[in-house]
Structure 1
Amino acid sequence: MASKDTDGKEPRTGKGSEKQDDKDSKAQRELGILGPHGDMRLASVIINGYSLELRDRESDGFVGDVASGTAFRHMLDAWRKLVTSMSGKDPFGSKATRDFSKKQLDKLADKNDDAAHALEQAAEDYALQLAGVVQRFMKQPTWRDVERVILGGGFHQSEFGSRAIGRVRDILKADKTPVELHTLHHHADEGGLIGWVHLAPPALLQSYDAILAVDIGGTNVRCGIVQTHLHRAPDMSLAEVVRREKWTHKDDSPRRDELVEGIAERLEDLIAHAEKKKIALAPYIGVACPGLIVEDGSIAGGTQNLPGNWESTR
């Protein structure tokens, strides 16, 4: 009977195992020189500022929240009620505004009726709010030299959302705001995951096929396997999410610890998938989340949209 290590695992033998041991040792060295959590100087970018917390006097919340997908639904609901009061009939029927999918709203927007009119007006309100947010951000010291704003999220991936973003560009141009507005070309569920291949240590990525990444938002959590394809594109322009899981946690109203446990379960599923498909995962997980990240990984603020208290150690 072959002898076993004290941890119960079979010892590695042969050239293949030596190569894997060298790879693991190299990975450990790379991990050993990683900077702290929330590091502002990363592999391919230098971050001048993030998680800008500007208060909105009217809503008593943060400025950025007035131009979110949730905010658009509130705007649409307000126009829906106004149109209903004027016509005596709800153009959207009995379905709640929050329950309409983006595809369903796109179909309604293509019609020439009261529902389309309400959508058009809500999109205009949203465009004005988003343009205002960009203009307020541009006045902040950390945004002084910003030339381009990239928008993520799923709102712009709808027809009415795309038109609203176009309207924002028109408003910024008319107001002579010196900034370009662009949207991510990756899918909304993948952009926050793929970005991690540009932030992880390059030497670490060279030894493996892929990394695990997590994108935590106020409504959804996305976990995925991001394959780098470094051998085909050293600039990682061909990086792709080969497997992802999306959890709309807002529907479940989890506590903080329950959310963390749910993320861990999904990562375990992804690890099992990688093993099955023989995808070599780097010992590295990139986690994107709202808030100001302290060096030890705790969050100092900006987590108001996440479930539970993320600014406490308990």
Structure 2
Amino acid sequence: MHSDPTSRRDFLAQASGTVAAGIVALKATGAPAQKSEERSGANRGRIYKANKGGGIGRDKSAMVKTLLTYKELGFDGIEGGSPDIKNIPALQEAIAETGVPVHGLVDGVHWNDRLSSPDEATRDRGREALEQALRDAYTLRSSTVLLVPGRVTGPEENHDHVWERSITEIRKVLPLASALGVQILIENVWNGFCEEPEQLRDYIDEIDSPWVGVYFDIGNVRKFGPSEDWIRTLGSRIVKLDVKDWGKENGFCRLGEGDVNWPEVRKALAEIRFTGWATREGRDNSLEDTAQLMDELLDL
């Protein structure tokens, strides 16, 4: 018996607006750079276009330049990293000046200081880093923190260990996530964990919290099966999207040149009534190329 993810998400939206916080931040800090008539896709106003930004810049001037570049190309926002961003106050000023929000942060230590590690001190460091990322996200008015919950490495860190240890550590952080109104989103990656959609579904349902959802990577799952099948299985557990393409012949590649069936992905997203942020991870021919491809493939 699985708990109803829709009711959890509805509760979250009603209680704090966290699921929609990225969109709220967008409206609060500035409208998208493009005029409405320049973007006329069916998903315009439903799916918001972003790119991975990492540290974004060392000082305010560099941050402003980065954010304005994205704005000029029609991106609705950007995603940063913690602890990659070295000057949070400067970034706050840059966001206010440009009107370009940082919709979420990526936990930058989750691969090394894993919540699934057999070493307790390592798990503690990982949990503390997640807590700091949540605080940074709150300061920047970001709605989420992306988390890789662990990695299957061998007999002392197998699939069951990743499942149990990471859930234990995540639950310790939930009171802070709730207090700050920032969601923790689990990304599907090549870490030997939850390589079937039903497994990831059940993992999220076992945590059973409105403050934990899925950051679905469209390209990462193509190695294991059709992306659209994963979308339908995970349903409303999906809060945000990582936009990538992957093919058996060319690996991670320019959007549209891999094995992802983009029309079917769009159809599946419509079926689950997805609305939220879609962030490009990877590179195409240029940033302008990325912006145009995302508009085309996601119908923005």
Q: Indicate the TM-score class for this superposition, using the shorter chain for normalisation.
A: 0.3 to 0.5
Larger Rg: 1 or 2? Answer: 1
TM-score w.r.t. length of structure 1: 0.34
Higher relative contact order (CA 8 A, sep 6+): 2
